[in-house]
Structure 1
């Protein structure tokens, strides 16, 4: 039984091209080293002694830079190619992480976070476009999930290692590790993968994917962006307000917070690929899967209203992880499949911008609610927004059905 289960699990990883595996490997290396983000709000609040409002504004600068980078990455990927953008983005952001640790003023950090994220997040839309080139059309959704799996496997290790580094070396060690892994990852990519141009429509790709309308008139796509923006905004509380809540309500250390965040990465690593494979085989409506994810995210915050039992943090992480599994890989696939040939960068740039905007609103909104009304009010607001995303996903499904289009 165990052997057959393992065989079935590993069968989900067959059929990928070599380039897809290399993309997954460098993504893992990069994400395992990305230890700054989960502890950034704690670093700003507890080490640099900024107020909640100042922390919120620095995170706003983080999100604005991310939005600009996502837009630039998408536009430039269509104009000069994803390959050059990926190499420039990771190598330069790695250097900038080394510099960031020496900036301690409020305005300096606002400018520094904006700049580093404007460069670092050019990578994301370029990477999505690369999958449209290197992955076979028939397993593109699984390729997206494989890269996300690498992200979460790295994230499962990263926060725990980050907590240990903080205890042993201080926060400065995180910046050195993060910058080094960015540079190492992209050097592996540059030496292992040759640049490949996009080619005309491949055999197996449906002509129906070509949508002649302007992206700005694609109403279902914009509703998808709005839905994912809400889910991401709520989910990202995991990296901003939840680490503070762990310490202030339950007295958890950075190591304990790292362990909880690692549970999220581990669950995604174990469950996402099998779930994606099952939905592909059974051709389950992807928009409905996204709606289940929105519901799980909402419940993940509503359950935090029970604040007298520390184990509720584990249950919340499990629900949020399920929400991530059901929402993000399928929304990636829907967005990429809806993009016309030659406009993948533009579509995926706007798609990743929705996540960047979510970072902005998430940080400032969550921290301001906590500062004025407390954690309980914040969980009610975030859970209610998760339910709004559920309603939007149902509406999106009806829109797609009304245009006689099976959700991609």
Structure 2
């Protein structure tokens, strides 16, 4: 994997609007209290059954999957800024509605709207970063956003537990308040960045273009494969550890290593990762994640599972830093938001496929086969991603020439 620069050079300053997005991501994640505690709120405060509470949480997930496609379309058609403002102010209202809902119909509707509005900003933010920055600066920028998200989420998961002991209603109001603050940051500091079309041109429809884009569709499949592996950490891993006689508290400590490694390591890797060939770095990162989960085939103690988490977290850092930059290079300029939205939707599909595949594999084939399957899938998507590198470079060059 070749580097793009051999000499240490000062990193260019990132623009004010980018740092506003960074603050926005941090604030939004600092207040992300409701979703991690939604099932507990519904079962303990609303006295719903576990199955009903899980179905309501799934409604949030369904809204989130739809949100990615809708957010990308809106970012291209209406604008990045309006899409983000709609997300944050709309999510605040939806959270308050969900927290005050009493009938099941209202709870279902509010949960879906929270998911639908809550993730509208993701493709808009990704597209805005691509609009603001030159290709060589994007890896560092996406890595910093990833770090802000994990820093905020690490703090919120701890503080949410304390706040929940006071009352679940407080979680909804504080989450809504931080969403409003994030919206105000966008309002005050982030301009509209959507590229203007040539005079007399009209915006092309997304799906007819994307569905004819073979390279893009292959990237989507590879991302679904990656997400299928990644979400074993939040579905199959706790079950496998329980099968080895380890308590749930140990799983909590082991999975916490994911956030700790990201918060401590990512700031030091961000600029270094920007030097590497992006498609090939993405391929290697996918491989590391697959092999990291594969370690589970030969370990049965807490420290072994901890080692597994550390290894796949290193791969996750590389993936998160570079995936947005690769899709930004791949996307046509006029459909950048839509391509980012479809990328996010693919990851959402993986959140459904991964837990289903992993838990059923664990039940019917056992942990060794399941973790070796993760490693094998990691090798397969590595080969596929590495093979796509020349096509991705050619597309990046063509898009850069068009933009110029």
The normalised TM-score by structure 1 is 0.78
Residues of 1 paired with 2:393 and 2:127: CA distance? 27
How many residue pairs match? The answer is 381
Alignment CA distance shift 1:36-1:235 (3 Å): farther
Q: Which residue of 1 aligns with 2:379?
A: 387
1:158 aligned counterpart, secondary structure = helix
Instruction: Give yes or no for contact 2:229–2:374 (8 Å, CA) kept in 1.
Output: yes
Instruction: Give yes or no for contact 1:231–1:386 (8 Å, CA) kept in 2.
Output: yes
Q: Which residue of 1 aligns with 2:342?
A: 350
Alignment CA distance shift 1:24-1:401 (3 Å): closer
Aligned-pair CA distance for 1:24? 0.1
Q: Which residue of 1 aligns with 2:185?
A: 188
Aligned-pair CA distance for 1:246? 6.2
Q: Determine if the alignment matches structure 1 residue 303 to structure 2 residue 295.
A: yes
- Return the match for 1:226 from 196, 213, 221: 221
Residues of 1 paired with 2:324 and 2:394: CA distance? 22
Q: Which residue of 2 aligns with 1:25?
A: 23
Residues of 2 paired with 1:345 and 1:194: CA distance? 16
1:4-403 matches, cutoff 5 A: 15-38=13-36, 49-51=49-51, 60-101=58-99, 111-166=109-164, 168-169=165-166, 173-199=170-196, 214-242=209-237, 249-253=245-249, 260-281=254-275, 284-306=276-298, 308-369=300-361, 378-397=370-389, 399-400=391-392
Deviations 1:255-281 (A, max 9, x none): x66654443233223333443422433
Aligned-pair CA distance for 1:336? 0.6
Instruction: Give yes or no for contact 2:226–2:286 (8 Å, CA) kept in 1.
Output: yes
Aligned-pair CA distance for 1:333? 0.5
The normalised TM-score by structure 2 is 0.79
Range with greater deviation from structure 2 (38-47 or 238-247) = 38-47
Residues of 1 paired with 2:129 and 2:393: CA distance? 27
Instruction: Give yes or no for contact 1:65–1:115 (8 Å, CA) kept in 2.
Output: yes
Instruction: Give yes or no for contact 1:27–1:147 (8 Å, CA) kept in 2.
Output: yes
Alignment CA distance shift 1:118-1:317 (3 Å): same
Aligned-pair CA distance for 1:17? 0.7
Residues of 1 paired with 2:177 and 2:131: CA distance? 28
Instruction: Give yes or no for contact 1:159–1:261 (8 Å, CA) kept in 2.
Output: no
Range with greater deviation from structure 2 (225-234 or 391-400) = 391-400
2:13 aligned counterpart, secondary structure = coil
Residues of 2 paired with 1:39 and 1:380: CA distance? 32
Aligned Cα root-mean-square deviation (Å): 3.7
Aligned-pair CA distance for 1:163? 3.9
Instruction: Give yes or no for contact 2:98–2:106 (8 Å, CA) kept in 1.
Output: no
Q: Which residue of 2 aligns with 1:4?
A: none
